[in-house]
Structures are given as C-alpha cells and as structure tokens.
Amino acid sequence: MFKGVTIKVKLAAMAGAALAFSGMASFRSPAGYDIHSITLSRACRSRSLAAGEAAARGCDPGFRLAVFIPPCRSWVIRKRGFMELLLLADAPSAAGVVASWYFDEWCRDSGRFTQDQVLAKVMAATQVDRAPLIVLARQAGEWVGAAELKIREMAMFPEYEHWLGGVYVVEKARGQGVASLLVTEILSRARRAGISKLYLQTENLTGGVYCRHGFKALEEVHYKGLHVLVMVADTGI
C-alpha cells in the first residue's frame, strides 16, 4: 500500500474524546467521526479504502493522509494491507470464533474447561474501557487474532490484578506482526483504564515477543500442570 510506511490510528475509548498523536492533527467532524490528518514522509497515490465504517484517503499534494474513523475502534494501515482492531464488545458475533480458538489451543487436551464454559468466559469479556475486554484483529474480512485484558488470571497471585492473556493468532497470519499489534493495543487500553502494571504468564520461558513490549521476567512457576514464566510490564502511567 504505502511502501515503507506504517501508520497506526487509534480511536478514543469514548465518543467525542480528543486524541493526541505526535505529528498528527486531530479534530471532530460534524458527522461524529474523528478526522486525523497525517503528514507522510513520501507521496502516495490518491485512493480510497473502505472497511466497514472507516475510509482512508491518501493524496499526493502535501503528502497528506486523512483518516475518518468512528469512535471506540482502532484501525491499522500496514504496507501489506488493511488490519482492523476492534473490541469484542463491538463485534459480539465473533465470540464463538474466539472461544473455538481458545478451546482448541488451551483446553481440548487438558480437559480443564468445556467449549461452552470457554464461550461463557469469552462472552463475559465485553467491557469497553476496563477489564475484562477482548481486542480482535480482522484482515480482509476474516478474524485472525485476539488478546484479552483480564482480572486476576492466576489464583496463586491474588495481589496481581490486571493481566494480558489469551494472545492468539491463526496459523496463516503468524509471523506478520499481528501478535505485536494486539499486545500494543492491550497495553494502550490498560493505560487508558488507569492500570499501571500488567502481568502475564507464558509457556515461552524466554519471554518471546513480550520482551519487545517492555515485559520483564518475575519468576518461573508450575501452574495447572504447566511450567510458565510470569512477567510484568509498567504501562507508563
């Protein structure tokens, strides 16, 4: 799309809230959409992109891109295509898809939860500006990933309140940075919710992708039959 250019546009958690971005002007349109005018480092051809309620237009004069976005969602424009990040609260019909991912990945073999129990947990994560919530990734009309902002995920650590969990990307979308986009979005929503520390558990004892997002190792523990690494990140507030 735009070679060498990656632009992330985040929407306010509440309608009408102002957005602040480095090098970006933000104001409200009469139709109730946030309008973000971004100066690019190079020219791009004039074009229009439509995805649901959003449209992005790029034009040569002034190297400027104007993005019109409704409140409560995030849109990511990437050089490989158009990635949409949104809340499960805004797309509740996706709950069954997410529950199937989670059940197959973490519960089918262990037998800890039935698929109906997993679905009930997913459907409960429909908050908008506080935990529990789920962020979804969609590309070319298909759901490709999810991540959760959770409350007290590990019973052995009741003092650790807010957790990043359920980070899942479908196999065909792996290696494309989807997990990083989801983790970044959860961290951003945690900050907006006033959460100062975010914890996670991972079976990857090196920390993997989470190290690149500021997570630090706390300790390794055995939990529910698994050897996991517990990590923490300061959200920056």
Q: Looking at residue 72, what is its pLDDT?
A: 53
Average pLDDT over residues 54-82: 46
Average pLDDT over residues 99-103: 98
Q: Looking at residue 109, what is its pLDDT?
A: 86
H helices then E strands: how many in the chain? Answer: 3, 14
**Which pTM value belongs to this model?**
0.71
The residue among 58 and 125 whose pLDDT is bigger is: 125
Residues of the chain with CATH 3.40.630.30: 86-234
Q: Looking at residue 18, what is its pLDDT?
A: 30
Query: How many angstroms separate the CA atoms of 72 and 10, rounded?
Result: 9
Q: Looking at residue 110, what is its pLDDT?
A: 83
Query: How many angstroms separate the CA atoms of 36 and 170, rounded?
Result: 31
Candidates 107, 97, 114, 108; CA nearest to 170 is: 97
Mean pLDDT (the chain, rounded): 76
Q: How many CB atoms neighbour CB 128 within 10 A? A: 14
Using the predicted structure, report yes or no on whether residue 200 has a pLDDT greater than 80.
yes
CATH 3.40.630.30 fits 86-234, yes or no: yes
| Phi-psi category of residue 152: left, alpha or beta, with phi > 0 → left and psi -120 to 50 → alpha | left
The share of the chain scoring above pLDDT 90, in percent, equals: 62
In this predicted model, what pLDDT tens digit does every residue of 131-183 receive, in sequence order? 999 999 999 999 999 999 999 999 999 999 999 999 999 999 999 999 999 99
